[in-house]
Amino acid sequence: MKRIISTTKAPAAIGPYSQAIEVNDTLYISGQIPVNPENGKVDALTIEQQAEQVLQNIGAILQAAGYGYSDVVKSTIFITDMKNFSAVNEVYKKYYTEKFPARSTVAVKELPLGVMVEIETIAVK
């Protein structure tokens, strides 16, 4: 059975997709960008601030679906400059402290709304 996950504590989708979908105890979270769900804007200016907002948005979706960061098995990080890899890692390790999920980090030319980072996530119960 497919369950659509939606919460106002994370930004609304900016296109024809869901914040997350759960199928067979697996949660697929769409790529999250650093949009502040309270005002719908990108307030974060630095890569660290943007990564923090992205991970908070992911946390809100995880919580809405009944999951936590410890349930995450795979993250895919998209960044616009590989020079920001270490800075994103510093923020990321505040949320994933042990038994780290599998992960890929990919440099891309650009991201929606001109942000510097986007993260998609898969979690399993």
Q: What is the per-residue pLDDT across 78-91, written as a single tens digit (0 to 9) for each?
A: 999 999 999 999 99
CA distance 50 to 43: 8
Question: Range of 118's domain?
Answer: 2-124
Residues in the chain: 125
Signed CA dihedral, 48, 51, 57, 60: sign only = negative
Q: What is the pLDDT of residue 1?
A: 87
pTM (whole model) above 0.85: yes
* Rounded Cα–Cα distance for residues 64 and 5 (Å): 7
What total of structural domains would you count in the chain? Answer: 1
CATH number for position 47:
3.30.1330.40
SS3 (DSSP) at 83? helix
